[in-house]
Amino acid sequence: MNTYKLLDPFANKMEDLTGWFITFHARPIYARDIHIQPDETTVQPKIAILLQGNFVSQHNFTAETIKIYRKYFPQALIIVSAWEDDLSGPRTPFSDKYIRLIVNQKPADPGFKNVNLQLASSLAGINEAKRLGAKYVLKTRTDQRIYHPYVLNFFLALLEQFPVSPGFQQKERLIGICLGPNREKLYQFSDMLLFGRIDDMERYWSADPVMQKADIKPVHTPESYLFTRFLYSIGRDVAWTLEDSLKAYASHCIAVDPPAIDWYWHKYERHREYRALKRGHYRDPIVNTLSFLEWLRLYHKFS
C-alpha cells in the first residue's frame, strides 16, 4: 500500500529516537472495499451478533460495520440495540430480514461508569435474539468491529475444544477478548466483546443495576462486578483472591487476543492499538494481560 511508503520515513526516524520498532496496520473503512467471501464450509447454529451502544457517525462506522457483517455472516441475525435519542444520525436501512433494530429508553441513572446503560441495552438485544431463536450470541459494541470473516466458526471450535467445568449452572464457556493489564485485577474479564450460549449470556447481563461505586464493593470496576455476579448466579463462590480469580478464568472463560480476530476499536488511542505492549509485555509478559497464551497456561494449571 502506498500509504505505508509515505509513513516509512516518519517510522524510521521514530525508531532511531525511541529505540522501538514501529509497524502499521491498515484496515478498510467501507464494506465496498472488502471482497472476502463468507466461509460456507461449516454449518453454524443460529447465531445473533449484537451491537450495543450509540451509533458512530464518523465514516458512517456503525452502518458500515453492519454491512461488513452481512457480507461475512449472511445467515446470522444482526441486532442493533440503540437508544431512542440516538436515532437521528446516519445508519444502515433496516429492511433486511436478518437485521433487527431495538430502540431503548435510557435508564434514569446510568450507574457507575455507565454500567446500567450496558446492562439495559445488552439485555434488550439478548432478549430479542432469544425470541428469534438464536442459540449463541456475539455481543459487541457499535464503536468496534471484527474484521476476520471466520470468527464465528473459530469461537464455536473453541467452545467444542474446551468444555466448561462441570458442577455449575453454565452451559458453555464465555469467550472474551484480552484488553490491557488486567491479570492482577481480580475477576477483571472484559465485557466489551462476549460470545456464548444464549442462556449464559442472558444470565450474565441480568445483573442488578448499580447506582454508585459503593454499591459494587469489594470490586472496583463494572467488568469485575458483572463477572462476579455471573459467578454467583451459576453457583460458584467468590473468594476475592488472585488465585481464585485466575481459577475462575480457567474454569468458566476463554480469553482470545484481539489480533486473532482482527478486532478494531474506533475510540481512544486507536492509532496505537498495541500501546499496552510497551507498558509491560516486553518487561513482564505474565502480569501485563490475560492473553490466550496465559489463559491456556492457567487452564492446564487448574484443570
- Residue 7 has a pLDDT of 78
Can you give the pLDDT of all 303 residues of the chain as single tens digits?
566 677 788 878 887 888 878 777 888 888 888 888 776 655 567 999 999 988 888 889 999 999 999 999 988 999 999 988 776 554 545 667 788 998 899 998 888 888 999 999 999 999 999 999 999 999 999 999 999 999 999 999 999 999 999 999 999 999 999 875 456 688 989 889 999 999 999 999 999 988 766 556 676 788 999 999 999 999 999 999 989 999 999 999 999 999 999 999 887 667 667 665 555 555 555 555 688 988 999 999 998
Entry pTM: 0.88
- Residue 272 has a pLDDT of 67
Would you tell me how many other CB atoms lie within 10 Å of the CB of residue 242? 13
The set of cell numbers assigned to 256 is 482470545
Compute the distance between CA of residue 137 and CA of residue 198 in angstroms, rounded to an integer.
Answer: 6
Torsion angle of the four alpha carbons 59, 61, 64, 69, in this order, in degrees rounded to the nearest 10: 160
Task: Write out pLDDT tens, residues 251-285.
Answer: 999 999 999 999 998 876 676 676 655 555 555 55
Listed by start position, the domains of the chain span 2-302
- Burial classification of residue 32, based on how many CB atoms lie within 10 Å of its CB (0-12 exposed, 13-18 middle, 19 or more buried): exposed
Compute the distance between CA of residue 98 and CA of residue 30 in angstroms, rounded to an integer.
Answer: 20
Whats the size of the chain, residue-wise?
A: 303
Please give the CATH architecture assigned to the domain spanning 2-302: Alpha-Beta Complex (3.90)
- Residue 25 has a pLDDT of 80
* DSSP 3-state percent helix, strand, coil across the chain (nearest 5): 45, 15, 40
Please report, for residues 8, 82, 127, 247, the alpha-carbon distance to residue 85 in angstroms, rounded to integers and kept in the order given: 44, 9, 21, 42
